[in-house]
Structure 1
Amino acid sequence: MRVLMFGWEFPPHISGGLGTACYGLTKGLSKVEDLDIVFVVPKAYGDEDQSKMQLVGANGVTINQVQTHVEKFKSKHTYLEVDSQLVPYNDPDEYYTFSSRDVYGKNKFFKVDKEGKLEFSGKYGANLIEEIYKYAYVASTISMDHDHDVIHAHDWLCYPAGIAAKEVSGKPLVIHVHATDFDRSGGSVNPKVFEIEKMGMDAADKIIAVSNLTRNIVIEKYGQDPDKVVTVYNAVEPVSFEEKQAIKKGVKEKVVTFLGRITMQKGPEYFVEAAYQVLKRTSNVRFVMAGSGDMLEKMVTRAAQLGIADKFHFTGFLKGDDVFNMLKMSDVYVMPSVSEPFGISPLEAMQSNVPTIISKQSGVSEILTHAIKVDYWDIDAMADAIYGIIRYDSLSNEFKEKGKEEVDSLKWANAALNVYDVYNSTIESFVEQTNQN
């Protein structure tokens, strides 16, 4: 079986959970003997690990018969102009608006160089929507150049690419919903993002959701057939014990960490309020908010208003080794997300022997037993959980030991086998329908 997979980023050039999840899944799928993956990204840098799959950068693809192809593509797609930056997985998150216009309203949109290639930044900047549709345009060419049995598109950024590839090759499309705009916006859904998401879901032959929470949103909010949507939980990459012991914290107090985008979806204000409640009971603790986003300034101001600024630290955006170094220095990890499709960071924390508190409004809460679960809005319960862990060593040690054991069993290889089953069932159903028609 050959899979044509569309993602938006690939290590070491990642800026969030999407790239981490895609990499873990592809590594897991590489262990399946009769499966080969062609992984496509908008921009390839040349230093990516290609030992497990073939990596193709849309920026390196020569477009043949440009004019003929453009006219055909133009008849099926519209261009969405970004009025302000949209940064779904990077920092900082910004509010965004869209307006529709013709896909060829700007000549630069399909400007090719002398080698017949399109330019891509591979970022999440002001030209994101342009790049999404350029990516879809090149995807149709890539689908002709690479034999495949099934197409797999990760998240809304790649849905147009998956659709374009399906239109050309006639192969079945599986889309992977890592998040929806209902999660990112707290219900104030951007109609144009919703349009792209629903377009991808309607075109897909099968939809993979990262949790039952997300699956229910896909069914209820996007009108998808329940039989079409399957849940496959994320996992975590193994980290050695030696790596986790490499760094020690430089303070005597306990350290409680929030690590993620400082935006409404992640519930940072509840973390600050819970910190205030804990500090009224003990001074032997420091709180860290690691990340950046549109609510950062508001959180700094609130910490000052509460008089806890001397016990509250803001590190800015962290990635790669800095994430694990922060976890190694933590005594408690808190994820108070208002709406979290899954949430890989609690797995990374538990893997690093850090007792973890998560919101009940997260997908990962569906599979974890040895993490404390609270409603994101219940500041008192959150504060009680934090205080209990930093105050009682026996409780902390219990969560460290049991949490580590639990997370070590959540392997990407197992998630990959579930995705492989989705591929097989999708191809079989697709063939049956084709034969009936």
Structure 2
Amino acid sequence: MKVLMFGWEYPPHVYGGLATANFGITQGLHAQGDIDITLCLPKPFGDEDHTAARIVAMNCVPIAWRNVDYDYVKSRIGNVMDPDYYYRLRDHLYADFNYMYVNELGCMDFAGGYPSNLHDEINNYSIIAGVVARTEDFDIIHAHDWLTYPAGIHAKRVSGKPLCIHVHATDFDRSRGNVNPTVYSIEKDGMDNADCIMCVSELTRQTVINQYHQDPRKCFAMHNAVYPLRQELQDIPRPDHTGKEKIVTFLGRLTMQKGPEYFVEAANMVLHRTRNVRFCMAGSGDMMDQMIYLAAKRGIADRFHFPGFMRGKEVYECLKDSDVYVMPSVSEPFGISPLEAMQCGTPTIISKQSGCGEILTNCIKVDYWDVHALADAIYSICHNDGLFHYLQEEGKKEVDQITWEKVGLRIRKLYDQLLSR
């Protein structure tokens, strides 16, 4: 089976959970041995893992014909794309896009990540998808999140092949209900045109059905997973904080969706009961200054640390150095980070508004707004060794059974059902 997949980010260049999920899904599908994946990315850097998917650099796909020398093409894009593939794509141009801004190779540049002109990049990406869809041989299309839905729709119209979309989040999650009408329109158009909608949780599936008015029969919950820790991550030592200061960690985007203010307020309550705890708020986002000011206003700035955005090994070092991990999200479609924390042997507290709570048992769940319950849970784990060790051991056992290979099998089953119609 051949899959044409549209993604937006991919490790090691991680901007959020989408990269981690995209990587896990491709690996889980590849593990079956008979699925070939062509993964389109706006701006790959050449250091991505190619074992599970052949990566197409959309910023190296020509949309305007250029008579250029082979050696020059190789010098310009050889680190991310085979020059022969560039010429193959050039021969499948379906329109003249010279009126758009293209470079000397007839390609469009991408900033990568989430720039201020994101909507322009989404549109450009969808145009380029037409060239790729006319060139590639594939059985099914798989588009990740609203950024790539227009590309998936274009590929479907070009090829007539079925379209699966993967809903990792909706704008209802990101905006606390203050939905951006442009984003909503893109999301709904993707859902309306999809033959199959995979949602990262039942929570998200219900949002898709009720807020985007989709047929429940084509909507499926497809929970995320984690990969076993690499040996170098397993080898990171876990400090023993017995009789010492405990460390409680929030790790994620500092945006209203993630509920960082509830973490600070709960910390304030804990610190009224004990001063033997430090709080780490790792990440970046538009609420960072607000959280620093809030910690200062509550008089707990001396107990708070703001190390900024973390990636790669830093994340696992932070998780292993923590006695409690907290994800107080207001609306979390899934949330992979609690699974990663539990992998590291860190007892975890999540909000009941988190999709991962549908598959996790050995963690503590509270309503995001109930800062009293959150504070009690933090204090209990920090001061009850029995509870700490139970959540540590049973949590790790639980997440070790939640694998991307199992997710890949479930996705494959949906592919087969779609293709058999």
Q: TM-score, normalised by structure 1?
A: 0.87
Match of 2:87 in 1: none
Match of 2:108 in 1: 118
Please state how far the C-alpha of 1:34 moved relative to its aligned partner: 2.1
What runs of 5+ residues in structure 2 fail to find an aligned partner?
66-89
Please state how far the C-alpha of 1:70 moved relative to its aligned partner: 4.9
Give CA deviations for 1:367-424 in whole Å, capped at 9, x if unaligned: 1000100000111110111111000111100000000000000000000111111111
Q: Equivalent residue of 1:160, what SS?
A: helix
Match of 1:187 in 2: 177
Match of 1:379 in 2: 371
Match of 2:331 in 1: 339
C-alpha separation between the residues in 2 aligned to 1:386 and 1:5? 41
Q: 2:251 aligns with which of 253, 259, 271?
A: 259
Give CA deviations for 1:82-135 in whole Å, capped at 9, x if unaligned: xxxxxxxxxxxxxxxxxxxxxx9xx6xx22222221211222111211111111
Q: Equivalent residue of 1:399, what SS?
A: helix
- Which stretch of the first structure deviates more once superposed, 11-20 or 233-242? 233-242
Alignment map for 1:72-91 (pairs within 5 Å): none
Match of 2:270 in 1: 278
**Kept after mapping to 1: 8 A contact 2:64/2:102:** no
- Which stretch of the first structure deviates more once superposed, 403-412 or 282-291? 282-291
Please state how far the C-alpha of 1:64 moved relative to its aligned partner: 5.1
Alignment map for 1:7-26 (pairs within 5 Å): 7-26=7-26
- Which stretch of the first structure deviates more once superposed, 333-342 or 46-55? 46-55
C-alpha separation between the residues in 2 aligned to 1:367 and 1:155? 22
Match of 1:197 in 2: 187
Alignment map for 1:278-297 (pairs within 5 Å): 278-297=270-289
Q: 1:329 aligns with which of 300, 321, 324?
A: 321
C-alpha separation between the residues in 1 aligned to 2:105 and 2:365? 55
Letter of the 2:187 counterpart: E
Q: Equivalent residue of 2:420, what SS?
A: helix
Letter of the 2:366 counterpart: V
Q: Does 1:410 align with 2:402?
A: yes
**Kept after mapping to 2: 8 A contact 1:245/1:328:** no
Q: Does 1:50 align with 2:40?
A: no
Match of 1:6 in 2: 6
Please state how far the C-alpha of 1:248 moved relative to its aligned partner: 5.2
Q: Does 1:30 align with 2:27?
A: no
Letter of the 2:303 counterpart: K
Count of paired positions: 394
Q: Does 1:365 align with 2:352?
A: no
Letter of the 1:284 counterpart: N
Match of 2:150 in 1: 160
Please state how far the C-alpha of 1:245 moved relative to its aligned partner: 4.6
C-alpha separation between the residues in 2 aligned to 1:53 and 1:176? 17
Letter of the 1:224 counterpart: Q
**Kept after mapping to 2: 8 A contact 1:244/1:328:** no
CA RMSD of aligned residues (A): 1.9
- Which stretch of the first structure deviates more once superposed, 299-308 or 188-197? 299-308
C-alpha separation between the residues in 1 aligned to 2:232 and 2:183? 43
Please state how far the C-alpha of 1:249 moved relative to its aligned partner: 5.4
Please state how far the C-alpha of 1:320 moved relative to its aligned partner: 1.4
Q: Equivalent residue of 1:334, what SS?
A: strand
C-alpha separation between the residues in 2 aligned to 1:358 and 1:313? 20
C-alpha separation between the residues in 1 aligned to 2:367 and 2:246? 23
Q: 1:300 aligns with which of 286, 289, 292?
A: 292
C-alpha separation between the residues in 2 aligned to 1:299 and 1:337? 15
Letter of the 1:352 counterpart: C
Q: Percent identity among equivalent residues?
A: 56
C-alpha separation between the residues in 2 aligned to 1:44 and 1:269? 35
Letter of the 1:428 counterpart: S
